[in-house]
Amino acid sequence: MRFSYLGPRGTFTHMALMQISSDEGGHIPAIDVPAALRMVRNEETDFAVVPIENSVEGGVNATIDSLSNGSGLRIVAEMLVPITFVLASRGPMDLSEVKRISTHPHAWAQCQNWIASNLDDAIHVPGTSTAGSAKAMADGAMNFDAVLCNPLSAEQYGLTVIAEGVADNPDAVTRFICAGREGTALPERTGSDKTTLQVQLPSDEAGALLAMLEQFATRGVNLSRIESRPVGDSLGRYQFSIDCEGHVEDERVQAVLIGLHRTSPHVKFLGSYPSAKQVPVKLRPGTADQDFVAARDWVSNLLGK
């Protein structure tokens, strides 16, 4: 099994990939999200692991658009990774000795309050990625004392962790997906699943978004994420990237898909997969599989079938 992922080695994306595959031999870093997905489409890898959503930054447009616009991919898993950093150096040292820190500017920004409280006269030495800073330190770079990186790259590059849980927002989390080709078998339903869709609205209809959301509501299917993305041909024309609760093998999700297919110019099914949190879905009355089956049987009976 080969996995392309948003590299380099040791990124948060790599941490997500390690949750589902510990065999590093099959891990192939890609330069960006479209490249990671392209490797799956081109059959260079079997799956790609890329970020889709961050609790602070929001949706990852590169992922959403690459999934939607190219040929068929299918999401088969999601993974959550807490976005906290470690401060690491070549060997044990005291916090008070840390004067110069290398890391990616985003990481530096996300830890500013922590640094101000704990290391208030430390200086930032910009790196191209947190994993890149870790590698540079391991390779012997001398112009900084420590790096802010994630726990995985500290470990991979043999660094010593001198502070853990470094983050201004300790609950920050990024959600990653693992996508295979369209033909990949659907993961089994677990009772706590998500389905990802791309839905375009009929153009120039007041209330089109409301009508689209009603397709979910009348079947008791909750949304867990909705992002508007431009269709691309003019301002004001949107498609929506949506995660909803449930699996395409759930009758209620099938009913939503049928309703969307009828009323939207384009709907794309991007996969059903177990929810990372595995909290069982609370079904509203009348939305269990047996409710749909019983209702269909009743109608068949009316029709004398």
User: Among 1, 95, 116, 210, which residue sits at the site for its own copies (rule: CB under 8 A)?
Assistant: 210
User: Among 203, 218, 266, 278, which residue sits at the site for its own copies (rule: CB under 8 A)?
Assistant: 218
- The stretch among 1-9, 94-102, 121-129, 287-295 that binds its own copies (CB under 8 A) is 287-295
Cβ atoms of 178 and 48 within 8 Å: the answer is yes
Q: Is 163 in the site for its own copies (CB under 8 A)?
A: no
Q: Is 7 in the site for its own copies (CB under 8 A)?
A: no
Applying CB under 8 A, the site for its own copies has a residue count of 67
Q: Residue 61: count other Cβ atoms within 10 Å of its Cβ.
A: 12
Q: Is 80 in the site for its own copies (CB under 8 A)?
A: yes
User: Among 153, 227, 244, 281, which residue sits at the site for its own copies (rule: CB under 8 A)?
Assistant: 227
CB of 90 to its own copies, least distance (A): 34
Q: Please state at what angle helix 208-217 crosses helix 251-263, rounded to 10 degrees.
A: 160
Which is closer to its own copies, CB of 142 or CB of 185? 185
Could you give the CA distance from residue 61 to residue 47 in angstroms, rounded to a whole number?
A: 19
Q: Is 279 in the site for its own copies (CB under 8 A)?
A: no
Which is closer to its own copies, CB of 138 or CB of 288? 288
Quick one: tokens of 174? Answer: 């990024």
Cβ atoms of 171 and 50 within 8 Å: the answer is no
- The stretch among 6-14, 89-97, 110-118, 250-258 that binds its own copies (CB under 8 A) is 250-258
Which positions from 90 to 119 touch its own copies by CB under 8 A, shown as an x/- string? Answer: ------------------------------
Which is closer to its own copies, CB of 9 or CB of 194? 194
User: Among 229, 246, 274, 280, which residue sits at the site for its own copies (rule: CB under 8 A)?
Assistant: 229
Q: Is 286 in the site for its own copies (CB under 8 A)?
A: yes
Burial class (CB in 10 A: 0-12, 13-18, 19+), 254: middle
User: Among 171, 266, 278, 279, which residue sits at the site for its own copies (rule: CB under 8 A)?
Assistant: 171
Binding site for its own copies (CB under 8 A): 53-59, 61, 80, 169, 171, 173, 175, 185-186, 202, 206-207, 209-211, 213-215, 217-219, 222-230, 232-236, 238, 248-249, 254-255, 257-259, 261-263, 269, 284-287, 291-292, 294-296, 298-299, 302-304
